[in-house]
Every structure is written in C-alpha cells, then in structure tokens.
Amino acid sequence: MPEESIVVKTWSEFTPDDVFEMAVLRSEVFFLEQKITEEEFDAADRDPSTIHLWVGDDRGMAGYLRIVDSPAAADAHEGIAKSLGRMVVRADARGQGLAERLMARALDIAGEVPLYLHAQDYVTGLYAKFGFEARGELFMEAGIPHRLMVRVPGA
C-alpha cells in the first residue's frame, strides 16, 4: 500500500462512515479479541486537537492510531502532554507492516516533541524501534499488562 493510503483527520473531518469504521475496528480488537471490559471510547476521540490516522482496505479500517494532546496527563507522564494511543491492527491485516507505517506517519506529524504511550507489554519492541524507551514497572490497564514508554527526541 502506498504511503498516501494513510488517512489523517481530526474529529470534525470524520464522516459517519469513518466513525462507524473506527468503532468496528476498535471494538473488534479491544472488546471481542482482547476481552477488554473498560471504557475504550473517550473524550479524547472527539477532542479537536486529537489527530486520527488509519489505513483502510476493502473491509474497512485495517489499522488505526491516534495522537492526543492532554496537558492534564503530563504530570503522570514525566511532564509530557502528547501521546500515541489506541494502536490497533485488524487480525487479518497483521504482518503487513501497517503498525510500523502508522507509527512512522504519526511521528512525522508529531514532529520533534516528547511523546509517551502505554504499550501492551508484548509489543514494546515495536515502539522501541521508533525510539521509545520503557519506564517504570509493568502495570495493568484494562486487564492487560502495559509499560509506560517515552520518546524524547534529541535526548
């Protein structure tokens, strides 16, 4: 898939179909596959500063990631307000490099600013490839082991 197939939008640019496709993908993976029973959709989805990125195919959204700017979360994340989150790739689309492509594009958009993310423990290697470093102890989030990971360009 060419790089231009990554869609980048804010909530105000979403169509009803975009909202539906995002809900289907995130529900399919987080609720049905991973059995998460906590709130998955939140106010950050509709925040005007949140940037949503995804790759689609003939079945809908195949991979998704969002960039969130939350100054209120900075104190709990080494003073860093921007985060990457809700990274998800549909089961039948895994192994095609979609996560890496979404990460590369998100970092290009975010620029040279510090970022954090809560990585499911089994995928910390993916984020490490992009300069994220694990910090602190393993913690449980939504019933799944996670690690705080931080990327500080130029550090």
Write the pLDDT tens digit of every residue in 17-27: 999 998 888 88
Q: What's the confidence (pLDDT) of residue 28?
A: 81
Q: What's the confidence (pLDDT) of residue 143?
A: 81
Angle at 123 between CA 121 and CA 125, to 5 degrees: 105
Write the pLDDT tens digit of every residue in 110-141: 999 999 999 989 999 999 999 999 999 999 88
Q: What's the confidence (pLDDT) of residue 131?
A: 95
Q: What string of H, E and C letters represents the secondary structure of the chain?
A: CCHHHEEEECHHHCCHHHHHHHHHHHHHHHHHHCCCCCCCCCHHHHCCCCEEEEEEECCEEEEEEEEEECHHHHHHCCCCCEEEEEEEECHHHCCCCHHHHHHHHHHHHHCCCCEEEEEEHHHHHHHHCCCCEEEEEEEEECCEEEEEEEECCCC
Q: Sorting pLDDT into bands at 50, 70 and 90, what band is 148? A: very high
Which CATH code for domain 3-111?
3.40.630.30
d(CA 16, CA 19): 5
Write down the domain spans for the chain.
3-111
Write the pLDDT tens digit of every residue in 32-56: 666 676 666 778 889 999 999 999 9
Q: What's the confidence (pLDDT) of residue 84?
A: 96
Q: Sorting pLDDT into bands at 50, 70 and 90, what band is 30? A: confident
Write the pLDDT tens digit of every residue in 52-102: 999 999 888 999 999 999 999 999 999 999 999 889 999 999 999 999 999
Taking the CA atoms of 76, 78, 82 and 86 in sequence, report the sign of the dihedral they define.
Answer: negative
Q: Say if residue 153's pLDDT is above 80.
A: yes
Q: Say if residue 1's pLDDT is above 50.
A: no
